[in-house]
Structure 1
Amino acid sequence: MSTPSGSTAGYAVELDGITKTYPGVVANDDVSLRVAPGTVHAVVGENGAGKSTLMKILYGAAKPDHGTLRVDGRDVSFSSPSDAIGVGIGMVFQHFKLADNLSVLDNVILGDEPMRRSRFGRIDREAAAVRIAEISERYGLAVDPHAMVRDLGVGSRQRVELIKVLFRGARILILDEPTALLTVQESADLLGRIRGLCEDGLTVVFISHHLDEVVGISDAITVMRAGRVVADVVPGETDVHELAVLMVGSEPAALPLRARGGERPARLQVTGISATTDSGGRLDDLRLEVGVGEIVGVAGVEGNGQDELVDALLGTLPLSAGSVILDGRDLAGESTAERRVGGIGCIPQDRQREGLLLDQPLWRSQLLGHLHDRRLARGRWLRIGAVRRAAEHVVATSDVRTPSIDLPASALSGGNQQKFIVGRELDAHPDLLVAAQPTRGVDVGAQRAIWTRLIAAAERGTGVLLISADLEELLTLSDRIVVMVRGTVVAVHDAETATVAEIGRSMTQAVA
């Protein structure tokens, strides 16, 4: 890290004239950003607008081609994240970087052990546990230091990530989509904790696609588009609609009109299915139907059987009772590959772990879930030309912004990754689409594009099972909304007349 030179009072972070290019892409184009100490400063923009690259530069994970960074008025130059950590900058990523097979304590001290050794040369675990407890108490981040991470819910894992950066002495926190994986209740709790961090003197750079959260929590907002800053606004002088227009550069496109409700022939019939997983997840006499061209939403507090339902439909979770019928065909005994070929498409909830080959060229991800599609492969032989053409078609028709399908999937922004997965699944024209959190972590423009594709699929006759933690999404798209509690359906709502409050009451009625 460079030695301090110069001083600019009044800002915790300053970025001046930051420019960063990748092959075929100008990620940041003369970007300047100033963040006052003790504030929440939001940075918003479409996926691919340059937010993530800018944050990687601030965190030392990428070096700018041009431009200057200052922290607390001093010029700095980072060659790695450890340099950024050394001046008090910590980053919590949207996709958690925790080891499931380790305890909370071990995850927190991982990589920081040499600084935490006792005088006998062993890691001072007792001192580390005390420090973790102090941070938890001070900032309201309740978590058991000795719990195994694999046993924690998403909200608790988020708290571990925050504790991890605070444990290392971070005073400036970069939070990348911190509520993307959380329930409504968990999100509200976390946002309250963030305000508490600022009241204690910390500074937060907040990246989020939830514009209502941005307006509600931020002290200042910077809007980016196509790699440049297009506006700096104050929350009290703007609103969600104006932010969306600034991000996209135009009014958001209206959703296509669609007749909802009414009697429909059954596409999917799930009759009394039960199952139990090794980790304690379960389905308990679950029953639901999805009609031809119907969108059925699934609501529920996380961990109430939604993941198990997806696995049961795809054939990766054996059933102890009940049946799954698709277009009159009992799927018992069919493998996942047979079910996929037989008409089931799937948008997985974790795009990076389940939906893409991150380190491979993007076109290879076209094969995930479709390796037995005779248009793409014959036996053991891939039809490379056909696979590439299919990937090019998805990119063109789904507005996936990438200069080449030969770039690794990891080079795409999260929203563009998601649009590729959605396009891939819908281009196969499935009879049933299982869509798990299809717009999680994407911007308002990508969300509209994905919603439009789901509506169009339903209009063509595809039955859509929409599993989402976003109740507004469920109300906007669904014909009916079923609520899951402890692995079974406890309520069914008409989406056109239901309210968020009604669905919320159904979700919590039997959880306590």
Structure 2
Amino acid sequence: MTPPPEDTGGTPAVELRGITKEFPGTLANDRVDLTVRRGEIHALMGENGAGKSTLMSVLYGLHRPDAGQILLDGREVSFASPSEAIAAGLGMVHQSFKLFPSFTVAENVVYAAEPRRFGLTDRAEAVRRVAALADEHGLAVDPTAKVADLPVGVRQRVEILKLLYRGARTLILDEPTAVLTPAEADGLFRVLRSLTDEGRTVLLVTHKLREVMEGSDSVTVLRDGRVAARLRTAQTSADGIAAAMTGRAVELDRMHPAGSPGEAVLSVTGLTTDAVRDVSFDVRAGEIVGIAGVAGNGQSELVEAVAGLRPVGAGRVTLTGEDVTDASAARRRATGLAYVPEDRTAVGTAPAATIAENLAMGHHRGHGLLTPGRLREHARVLIERFGIKAASSRHPAGSLSGGNLQKLVIGRELAHESPLLIVEQPTRGVDIGAIQTIHDQLIAHRDAGHAILLVSAELSEIRGLSDRVLVMFEGGIAAEFPRDEADERRLGLAMAGGAPEPPVSAEESVEEAPKESLKEGP
């Protein structure tokens, strides 16, 4: 990592003084001070609900602070909208990208600031400018490509190009690697470092400790809306940051004990869909089967077919001994399937419904009259059990932070003791303390005799939880490993379509294993 820049005592690029922001029932930011030096990558960390997103929304003009000052390059500013922040040299890449899928890369980058010729948009000049900008900053992208056809990592480059095109000197990135492959995450940090070497500043909102340790210069930690720590990365440790975030010691990258598998609960035989080819496997009671693979190799389509959300072209799906190949999603849930989808907002919840209503969804039939009192009591129990930070169960689910919405979905699905749990990306966007809690809950669910099919982009999560690991490549099962043989090198080779290697000894792993990817770990 490039050595952190020395603090020369110059004017900070960004300075927040005493920022306070309160919503009904929630003090999101409580007199927060934040100082970010010019030319550094500054990480902002904290548990879900700690106030990170609110603070960045205040900085970017999405919210007005109730108290406090914002200074850019020593000059006090006040933004009524993001457009004013952009004009002042700020730019933000949101976790959910703000792109027009039907537009080309160049059209997205220059939108609302198009080069003109004879009063019309000069498309050739737009392509030329975007190509030059991409080449200057090492952001490989085809300016003429349609955004809808691009992988997610390239779309993120388009978002960064939009900011650079508008002259952003300070870039705010919200959970930038949540949907990136390990190689894409590594590439992103190379780009960010090149930008800071040019004198730009990066504010990075993330949960991933390894990224922070390898890619940042300074760290500010929020807890319960207040600053819990201000650290120079080179002078701290991952354990120290985790303790500042949670207020307690956290065991990182834990390998959980193996399960005791019983009879098969889920049997998939020769399953074929539009994106899956001839896949067969079982998941047994008391077992976690992990599915690893680079995004786009059929994992999501396989899960949707098993859950009843995608038609099966060929093959058979059996759940608790019953053929459910042609059964509806509702019938599969009644047969014994619980499901935590990858998209917790569009698929996993109804954002406009209350938290209490969402916690009862999917398993509410056949339980008599669901009175408001019963709904609230059910919600109270799950909110407490899973540590969901919510001012009231009467509030809309859409008011929750992403991590707390994830806890809601997982808590709801675990609560009903279904024989099979399918869980996709269980800790995406979830803070370190909550990751440990979710992992413990999944292991307890397995040890109670349930079967779990786990899909995750995090290799450390797959290795730490799974009793067996399946690797998908181009729609098929490329390899299967028992937990003791699922080392990082073998998994990585299979994920790239290579033939499985023999297991690696501990000595060989230390001497020969490549540097761990920034993507791995919480």
Partners in 2 of 1:407 and 1:57 — Cα distance?
22
2:100 is the alignment partner of 1:99: yes
- Of residues 21-30 and 158-167 in structure 1, the stretch that sits farther from structure 2 once superposed is 158-167
Cα deviation 1:40-84 (Å, max 9, x = unaligned): 011111111111111111111111111000001111001111110
* Change in 2 beyond 3 A, CA 1:99/1:345: farther
* Change in 2 beyond 3 A, CA 1:376/1:365: farther
Partners in 1 of 2:142 and 2:120 — Cα distance?
22
Partners in 2 of 1:138 and 1:353 — Cα distance?
37
Trace 1:19-418 onto structure 2 (pairs within 5 A).
19-110=20-111, 112=112, 115-116=113-114, 118-252=116-250, 259-260=257-258, 263-276=261-274, 282-366=275-359, 368-370=361-363, 373-375=365-367, 384-418=372-406
Cα deviation 1:178-233 (Å, max 9, x = unaligned): 01111111111111111111112211001111111101111111111111111111
Deviation, 1:388, is 3.8
Paired residues of 1:287 and 1:488 also in contact (CA < 8 A): no
Deviation, 1:106, is 3.2
Deviation, 1:467, is 0.3
Counterpart in the other structure of 1:279: none
- How many residues of Structure 1 are paired with residues of Structure 2 in the alignment? 491
Cα deviation 1:347-378 (Å, max 9, x = unaligned): 1112222222224432332355446x32277x
* Change in 2 beyond 3 A, CA 1:298/1:152: same
The residue type paired with residue 374 of structure 1 is G
- Note the aligned Cα RMSD (angstroms): 2.1
Partners in 2 of 1:429 and 1:73 — Cα distance?
56
The residue type paired with residue 36 of structure 1 is R
Give the TM-score taking structure 2 as reference length. Answer: 0.90
SS at match of 2:366: coil
The residue type paired with residue 46 of structure 2 is G
SS at match of 2:347: helix
* Change in 2 beyond 3 A, CA 1:440/1:376: farther
Percentage identity across paired residues of the two chains: 44
Structure 2 residues not aligned, in runs of 5+: 1-8, 500-522
Counterpart in the other structure of 1:419: 407
SS at match of 1:221: strand
Partners in 1 of 2:153 and 2:188 — Cα distance?
8
Cα deviation 1:223-261 (Å, max 9, x = unaligned): 111111111111111111111011100112699996515
Cα deviation 1:9-28 (Å, max 9, x = unaligned): 52110001111111111111
Paired residues of 1:391 and 1:424 also in contact (CA < 8 A): no
SS at match of 2:272: strand
* Change in 2 beyond 3 A, CA 1:212/1:80: same
The residue type paired with residue 361 of structure 1 is T
Paired residues of 1:93 and 1:175 also in contact (CA < 8 A): yes
Structure 1 residues not aligned, in runs of 5+: 1-7, 277-281
* Change in 2 beyond 3 A, CA 1:253/1:487: same
Partners in 2 of 1:367 and 1:134 — Cα distance?
53
SS at match of 2:380: helix
Deviation, 1:412, is 1.6
The residue type paired with residue 448 of structure 1 is Q
Partners in 1 of 2:61 and 2:387 — Cα distance?
30
SS at match of 2:346: helix
2:498 is the alignment partner of 1:505: no
Paired residues of 1:474 and 1:495 also in contact (CA < 8 A): no
* Change in 2 beyond 3 A, CA 1:256/1:502: closer
Cα deviation 1:476-507 (Å, max 9, x = unaligned): 11101110011111111122342112111111
* Change in 2 beyond 3 A, CA 1:93/1:255: closer
